[in-house]
Amino acid sequence: NAGVTQTPKFQVLKTGQSMTLQCAQDMNHNSMYWYRQDPGMGLRLIYYSASEGTTDKGEVPNGYNVSRLNKREFSLRLESAAPSQTSVYFCASSGGWGSGANVLTFGAGSRLTVL
Amino acid sequence: AQSVTQLDSHVSVSEGTPVLLRCNYSSSYSPSLFWYVQHPNKGLQLLLKYTSAATLVKGINGFEAEFKKSETSFHLTKPSAHMSDAAEYFCVVTLWNTGFQKLVFGTGTRLLVSP
């Protein structure tokens, strides 16, 4: 089925370890996003990529880096994980323009625990 | 600045009774507004969207929302709750940044449905 695929679904890290969350979409969407979801805080935007070749910071970018590898793939990297980064991470994509603009399609989420 | 406030963190209803989830927004221009639903351990799914056409918007699964500019509200309603409606609901407003629209999420309302 068409959609957004995130890996891994679950990950446990120790403080200071690094890891990369992978995201791929097969809907030919221009724009991709990384959000984190914490209890009582809704979803907060970490980074986004309006189109292939561009990335920009969202509300909470500190401690993260991203790479828009090509039109399909958008990865999120934690260089030195901290307990405050324990969260559920969602990747999303959107068509970017016209009737599909701003309608996000979400992946199933990646639950990250940092000890 | 654009923001969105969901007035209730939890709403409890009985099956077959009406549902009302409240959302107020602030925006310096005519916004696009959305409701997304998240079932347990799942990604988010679009319920409905308002983009300056009809003020009463119908979505999936019998939900609808009314845009009221004078009250800066976009409340979500359903005439009769079903057990499968138990989920978390997010109200979302668009935010412009250098010609690109980003989405700002409310903190969510958890809907509990009892038999």
Q: Verify whether the Cβ–Cβ distance A90 to B34 is below 8 Å.
A: no
Rounded to whole angstroms, how far apart are CA atoms A38 and B46?
20
Q: Check CB contact under 8 Å for A48 and B102.
A: yes
From B58's Cα to the closest Cα of chain A, the distance in A is 15
Pick from B73, B108, B115: nearest CA to B88: B108
Asked whether residue A21 carries a pLDDT value surpassing 80, the answer given is yes
A23 neighbors A76 (Cβ within 8 angstroms): yes
Q: Give backbone dihedrals phi and psi of A114, rounded to 5 degrees, phi first.
A: -115, 120
Contact A26, A2 (CB under 8 A): yes
Nearest chain B CA: its distance from A61 CA (Å): 15
Q: In angstroms, rounded to a whole number, what is the distance separating the alpha carbons of residues B94 and A6?
A: 24
* Coil vs helix vs strand at B86: coil
| Positions of chain B with pLDDT lower than 70, given as ranges | 1-2, 96-101
Q: Structure tokens of A44? A: 């907060």
Contact B90 A58 (CB under 8 A): no
Per-residue model confidence as pLDDT tens digits over A35-56: 999 988 889 999 999 889 899 9
- pLDDT the model gives residue A32: 93
- Distance between B18 CA and the closest CA of chain A, angstroms: 24
Cα separation, A17 vs A40, in Å, equals 27
pLDDT band of residue A96 (cuts 50, 70, 90) is low
Q: What would the DSSP string read from start to end of B23-90?
A: EEEE-SS---EEEEEE-TTS-EEEEEEE-SS-SEEE-GGG-EEEEETTTTEEEEEESS--GGG-EEEE
B31 at interface of A, judged by CB pairs closer than 8 A: no
**From the CA of B108, how many Å to the nearest CA of chain A?**
6
Position A88 scores a pLDDT of: 95
Residue A66, pLDDT above cutoff 80: yes
Average pLDDT of chain A to the nearest whole number: 91
Is A34 within 8 Å of chain B by CB?
A: no
Mean pLDDT of A102-112: 90
DSSP state of A16: T
What does the pLDDT read at residue B64?
A: 96
Report yes or no: B109 at the A interface, CB cutoff 8 Å: no
pLDDT on residue B47: 95
Q: Are the Cβ atoms of B43 and A108 closer than 8 angstroms?
A: yes
Predicted local confidence at residue A97, as pLDDT: 59
In chain A, whose CA is at the least distance from the CA of B107? A42
Cβ <8 Å between B43 and A44: no
Q: Nearest chain A Cα to B6, which residue?
A: A42
- Which of A24, A33, A36 minimizes the C-alpha distance to A111? A36
Q: Which residues of A touch B49 (CB under 8 A)?
A: 102-103
Cα–Cα distance between A58 and A56 in angstroms, integer?
Answer: 7
A107–B43 CB contact, under 8 Å: yes
Give backbone dihedrals phi and psi of B29, rounded to 5 degrees, phi first. Answer: -150, 175
